[in-house]
Every structure is written in structure tokens, then in C-alpha cells.
Amino acid sequence: MSSLVKVKIYTASEPLVSWIYEGQTVWQAVQKAGVLQRGDCGGRGICGKCKARVEGDVLSLTSEEEEVLSVEEKQGGFRLTCKCHVMGETSVFLPETRIAHLKGGLLMFERYPGVLAAIKKVDTHIPPFNRNNPIPLMERVQWSFKDYELEISSANLNHIAELDQGDGFRINGGLLDKTVLRIHPQGQGRFCGLAVDIGTTWISCALIDLITGELLGETGALNSQIEYGRDILARISYVMDNDTGIEELNEKVVRDISLIVEELLDGLEIGSEDILEMTVVGNPVMLHLFVGLDPRGLGRAPYVGLFRRGISRRAATLGMPMHPAGRVLILPQVAGFLGSDVVACLLAVAGNSLDNFLVLDIGTNGEMVIVKDDMYFACSIAAGSAFEGGGITSGMVARGGAIDRFWLEDGEMKYSVLGIERPEGICGSGLVDLLNVLLDLEVIDETGLIQPDKYAGKWRNTPRGTELIIVDEAESSQGLPLVLNQQDVRQLQLAKGAVRTGIDILMKEAGINPQGIDEVMFAGAFGHYLNPEAVIGIGMIPGFEEHRIKPIGNASLRGALAALVSVREREEAMRLASCITAVDLADHPDFASLFVESMAFK
Ligand code: FES
């Protein structure tokens, strides 16, 4: 059988990675990643709709491409993806594609079809101002929307007043339930929604037009609560030790979201008051702090917070940068240690044709779910931040400058860097790859002990112990060497042990073995760049076949988006939250023995 090759897919919203067999086409790689790409001729090389810029190890132009592509396109590196066969690592650039939705395994192209949002657009006519019977504009607007309540701002009415020049005119209203929140001259303006995923380390937001379904932007930022501690227990401790802890942490997340929204709106002709509804997902501690509720109950057995079901709040009460009377909807959580981010992940992948699958979201507070014949088993894992580069001497998050891959060529260690040429650090997927290479070389033994005499690379002695120099200072972007030492390996061992223990216990609870799992889906940044061979090689996951391992991007955010654009998805979120079996790892009788076993590299 031919070997697997990696294809990186760069879209407007996020990069994806797809693994295909050597000789398959770029089109197949794109589809495998779940992106629905344009193409009217079904891949026969006739329509030219699937063309994209491609770089990397691919076969030369086919006769169909010679015919369909212009000279400039050929010179610019454009290919018909349906006819471009991949032989080694390749990148494809799809700048027009926004990752909007993952449903039934497919990411929709640019727009959500058939939006079923709670926000509706209503159209009405404002009667003309009559000098003989002068009626103020506000009263005429109220009369025109007589079936509804009106909660429009003064600035909004002032803007509309500019149209009130004697003739009547038409306006569109943004309706939430029975209340018109925002009005625009007909055919102008947008009624928007915001999906928010509050991670312990990273906050992601997506802005969408709730009438057309067009994704307007997606971005994120570090959760600045991080200065109060990296994980949820540290945040709870801060609340325990400080009377104003809840308010301080709440202010941080409110400010972070406000700055992200500012960035999203920059350059768009949209104001924050055009955002009429927001859906929010996150782990229970993040959600409590977002609402300003005390999370202390979540830090000790039996891990019960102050709320679990989905709740809605007026935006103004939470200080959200949107219409003050807009609605903030927090999706339902599962248990004190499993939040609405798990539910959102499942919403994002629901509807696929698989019977049994495993979804992993490896963040600072990781979650995983096994779905077996419509039964759901989920747990959270304290993987720590090692896979996000936290606590690792040369670790960093997966962004430009991070080494994402390592491999051996003629006994020499090679690496690839995201975005820019010189490396700044090593991200989670790079660290997993590095461990795998060092295990192959027997530089790390099964117990995780570093054996310097096994490798003729560069070593140095420091107060932290012996360190392997992975990248010389002259080659790194910061002028500092990138290294790996024994403490780093131990941190990574703890993290991978936590992940493996979670998977083993969930499989046991679900009564399934690795052969029974059809697909393993990795959500989040870690999944974008991971090398399935390395993840299996270090024993982080059991021996699934590599082609069954698939990255699915930020599934929590896409689940939040799905609930934002569809009231049916909100009902589905409630159903999922109530039927997921929450498995408490800490209480599980096999936890201690499995965790010790899972720490070994085998
Ligand atoms: S799909 Fe028509 S040319 Fe590729």
C-alpha cells in the first residue's frame, strides 16, 4: 500500500491538515478535511472551478490542466485540484474559503444554507412626515411595527431620522422574539450574531450575518485570566483566596471578548449594536466566571456548580459588546467537570454517518467523548498545558515560528516551521513528533529517561540538567537555542498519560476496543498539525489505523455557531447534554493503575 502524505490546507479562517495516500489528488485531501470545495464537473477537469494555488511535491500538469488553466495561472502555481496528484508534503491555498460549519462531516463553503436563526428580519414602511398632522418619527416607527415591542437606541433612531425627508421610506427591523432591536434602511446594514468559545487558555469568536448566514470573521486571543493561573484549579484557588476574585476574573474575560469583537468589526460597516444574539460555550469554570458566578463548588467533590442547564441573559447585564437588549445564550453543560464545549463539539460533528467514533479536544483542560451506537461517554482530563507549549523549556503555542514536525533523514533530525523560516519554539504537535523521533533513536527509553550516550547530537549541561540542543541559537529567530531536557519529557509524559488514561477508561465504560472505533477526531489547534504516526508512536492513543485519525479544527466554536444560526441545534444541544454519560476519572477504580501504565512510552 502506498504511504500517507500530509497536505496543509490554508483557508481564510484556519489552517487544516489532511492525510491522504500518495498519488491521491489535492481535491481528495481537501474533501477529506471536510471542506466542500467548488467544482461543477465532478472532478473531470473541465469546469476549472476547483482551481487553487498548490505548492509542494505534486505530479506535473495534466493535459486537462494544460487546457483549462491560463498561462498566468500556471505561472502562479495554480492547479486544478481534482487533477493534481500528491506525492509528498503539499500545501494548498484556499483564501476564499471560510470554515463556517461542520455538519455531517462537511464544512460548508462560505455560507450557511437555510439559516434558522432566532433573529428574524422584518420589513415595514414608515409613513411620510405630514406637516398638517405632524407625528414624531418614533411614533411612526412604533406604529409601523405595531405587532412588536421596540427597543431601538437613540443613535439608531437619529440615523434613521436622516431618511425622514418628507417621503415615506422602507426599513428592515432585526427581531428577537417579539422585540425589534435594531432598524436599518431597507437593503442596508446587517443583523449579526457572535459565537464564543471560552477556553482556559484561548478565547475564540466568530461573527456571522444571521440573515444570510455569511461568516464575517473569526479570530481569537489569549484568555488573560491566565495571569491568575494556567488551569481551572488555579482560577478557583484565586477566587477562594481573594474576596474580589470573581469580579476580577469576570472583568478579564469581558474585556478579552470586547477586544476580540473590536478586532472583528474593524473594517466592516457593522457596529456592536448590530450584534443581536450571542452563543457561548466553555468549560464549567470558564462559564461561571463569564456570568460572574462563584465557581468554588466545581473545585471539590461532588463538583457541582451554581448552574448547569443552558441559560440566557440580556447582553447589558453581562457587559457584552453588542446590542444591550440582545440575548446571550449559554449552551447547556453536562456535569461539573464537563461543560458546553463538549456539547458544542458533538453538535459540530453530529449527523456524520459513523456509528462509533472518538472526539478529543486536547487543551489545558481537555475533553473527550466516545460515541457508540448513539450512546455518549465523556470525561475531562487534566492534560496540563504541555501540549500548548506551557511549562516546556522551548514550548510555544501553534502559531507562526513554531516547529510543527520533526523527522529523520539519513540519521539527521529535520524539522518544519509554521509560517516563517526561523523557529521560535516547538508547539504541541512538534513536541509529540520530537518524542517519537527520540524514542526511535532510543535517546528516550520506555520509562522516559533521557540517554545522552545514544545520540551524537549536541548536548549541554545546565542547572536544569543535561539538555539536547534541537536548534542552535544561530538558527532560531530569538537567538536562543531550542532544547529538550528531562523535566520537559516528564511534563509531556504526564500529559500524554492523562490523555491515554482517559481514552482507555472511556473505551472500557463504552465496552468498545480500538478496532471498533471508526474514526478518531482531534479538535483544536493540536489536531491541526498532528502527525498520527507520532501520536500512536508515543502511546498517547491506542493503535488506531492512521487514516482513521482526522483533525476537525475548532469544533467547539463551530458547535456554538451551529446553535447561533439554528434554533433546532439549540434543542439538539439540550438533548445531547442530557444524554451524555459523564465519567469521573478521578473516582474511577482503574484510574491510578492505568495512569501509571499510560506514562510509559510503549
Ligand atoms: S472539479 Fe471541475 S475542473 Fe476540477
pLDDT at residue 39, rounded to an integer: 59
Q: Tell me which residue of 567, 559, 568 sits closest to 101, measured CA to CA.
A: 559
If asked whether residues 289 and 199 sit together in one domain, one would say yes
If asked whether residues 458 and 581 sit together in one domain, one would say yes
Question: What average pLDDT does this structure show over 125-147?
Answer: 93
d(CA 119, CA 123): 13
Q: Pick the residue with more confidence: 525 or 435?
A: 435
User: Residue 47: CB within 6 Å of ligand 1?
Assistant: yes
Cα 24 to middle of ligand 1, angstroms: 15
| C-alpha separations of 500 from 110, 185, 496, 544, 595 in Å | 36, 56, 6, 13, 8
pLDDT at 210 over 80: yes
pLDDT at 61 over 80: yes
> Based on the number of CB atoms within 10 Å of its own CB, is 581 exposed (0-12), middle (13-18) or buried (19 or more)?
middle
Cα 69 to middle of ligand 1, angstroms: 11
Residue with cell 483549462: 68
pLDDT at residue 353, rounded to an integer: 66
Q: Which atom of ligand 1 has the smallest separation from the CA of 47?
A: 2
pLDDT band at 314 (very low <50, low <70, confident <90, very high): very high
To which H or E segment does residue 176 belong? strand 169-176
pLDDT at residue 99, rounded to an integer: 47
Query: What values do phi and psi take at 201, rounded to 5?
Result: -105, -35
If asked whether residues 8 and 77 sit together in one domain, one would say yes
Cα 202 to middle of ligand 1, angstroms: 38
In terms of residue numbers, what domain contains 415? 353-602
pLDDT at residue 1, rounded to an integer: 47
pLDDT at residue 144, rounded to an integer: 96
User: Residue 82: CB within 6 Å of ligand 1?
Assistant: yes
Cα 529 to middle of ligand 1, angstroms: 27
If asked whether residues 88 and 173 sit together in one domain, one would say no
User: Is residue 104 assigned to a domain?
Assistant: no
pLDDT band at 106 (very low <50, low <70, confident <90, very high): very low
Cα 51 to middle of ligand 1, angstroms: 7
Q: Pick the residue with more confidence: 359 or 398?
A: 359
Residues 6+ apart with CB under 8 A from 27: 37, 39, 43, 50, 81, 82, 84
* Beta strands in 301-451, from DSSP E residues, in sequence order: 311-314, 327-330, 356-361, 366-372, 375-381, 402-409, 412-417, 425-426
If asked whether residues 41 and 135 sit together in one domain, one would say no
The pLDDT tens digits of the residues spanning 497-536 come to 999 999 999 999 999 999 999 989 988 777 777 788 899 9
User: Residue 497: CB within 6 Å of ligand 1?
Assistant: no
Cα 14 to middle of ligand 1, angstroms: 24
For residue 558, the Cα-to-chain-centroid distance in whole angstroms is 7
User: Residue 25: CB within 6 Å of ligand 1?
Assistant: no
In this structure, are residues 297 and 335 in contact, taking their beta carbons and an 8 Å threshold? no
The pLDDT tens digits of the residues spanning 456-471 come to 878 998 888 899 999 9
User: Is residue 146 assigned to a domain?
Assistant: yes
To which H or E segment does residue 79 belong? strand 78-80
Q: Which three cell numbers stand for residue 299?
A: 473545585
User: Is residue 451 assigned to a domain?
Assistant: yes
Closest protein CA for atom 3 of ligand 1: 45
Q: Tell me which residue of 484, 489, 449, 480 sits closest to 469, measured CA to CA.
A: 484
Q: Pick the residue with more confidence: 12 or 513?
A: 513
Cα 321 to middle of ligand 1, angstroms: 43
If asked whether residues 178 and 224 sit together in one domain, one would say no
pLDDT band at 112 (very low <50, low <70, confident <90, very high): very low
Cα 44 to middle of ligand 1, angstroms: 6
If asked whether residues 470 and 528 sit together in one domain, one would say yes
User: Residue 211: CB within 6 Å of ligand 1?
Assistant: no
Residue at 81: amino acid letter: T
User: Residue 39: CB within 6 Å of ligand 1?
Assistant: yes
User: Is residue 593 assigned to a domain?
Assistant: yes
Q: Which atom of ligand 1 has the smallest separation from the CA of 46?
A: 3
If asked whether residues 435 and 553 sit together in one domain, one would say yes
| C-alpha separations of 68 from 55, 65, 86, 90, 597 in Å | 19, 5, 19, 22, 57
Cα 65 to middle of ligand 1, angstroms: 10
User: Is residue 176 assigned to a domain?
Assistant: yes
Q: Pick the residue with more confidence: 50 or 596?
A: 596
Structural domain tally of the chain?
A: 4
If asked whether residues 271 and 400 sit together in one domain, one would say no
To which H or E segment does residue 500 belong? helix 486-510
| Predicted complex ipTM | 0.98
CATH number at residue 286: 3.30.420.480
If asked whether residues 452 and 584 sit together in one domain, one would say yes
**What's the mean per-residue pLDDT of the chain?**
88
User: Residue 508: CB within 6 Å of ligand 1?
Assistant: no
Cα 41 to middle of ligand 1, angstroms: 5
If asked whether residues 137 and 33 sit together in one domain, one would say no
Handedness of CA 354, 358, 361, 367 (dihedral sign): positive
Cα 482 to middle of ligand 1, angstroms: 44
DSSP secondary structure of 56-69: EEEPPPPHHHHHHS
pLDDT band at 14 (very low <50, low <70, confident <90, very high): low
pLDDT band at 41 (very low <50, low <70, confident <90, very high): low
The pLDDT tens digits of the residues spanning 219-249 come to 888 899 988 888 899 999 999 999 999 999 9
pLDDT at 127 over 90: yes
User: Is residue 270 assigned to a domain?
Assistant: yes
Q: Pick the residue with more confidence: 330 or 400?
A: 330
Q: Pick the residue with more confidence: 584 or 94?
A: 584
User: Is residue 545 assigned to a domain?
Assistant: yes
User: Residue 69: CB within 6 Å of ligand 1?
Assistant: no
Q: Which atom of ligand 1 has the smallest separation from the CA of 43?
A: 1
pLDDT at residue 225, rounded to an integer: 93
Among 25, 36, 38, 44, which residue has the most ligand 1 atoms within 8 Å of its CB, making it the best to mutate?
Answer: 44
pLDDT at residue 81, rounded to an integer: 92
User: Residue 28: CB within 6 Å of ligand 1?
Assistant: no
Cα 532 to middle of ligand 1, angstroms: 30
Least confident of 196-200, 289-293, 424-428, 545-549: 545-549
The pLDDT tens digits of the residues spanning 149-193 come to 999 999 999 999 999 988 899 999 999 999 999 999 998 999 999
pLDDT band at 44 (very low <50, low <70, confident <90, very high): confident
If asked whether residues 18 and 71 sit together in one domain, one would say yes
pLDDT at residue 396, rounded to an integer: 87
User: Is residue 348 assigned to a domain?
Assistant: no
Last residue of a domain, one of 97, 130, 164: 97
pLDDT band at 578 (very low <50, low <70, confident <90, very high): very high
Q: Which atom of ligand 1 has the smallest separation from the CA of 45?
A: 3
Q: Which atom of ligand 1 has the smallest separation from the CA of 41?
A: 2
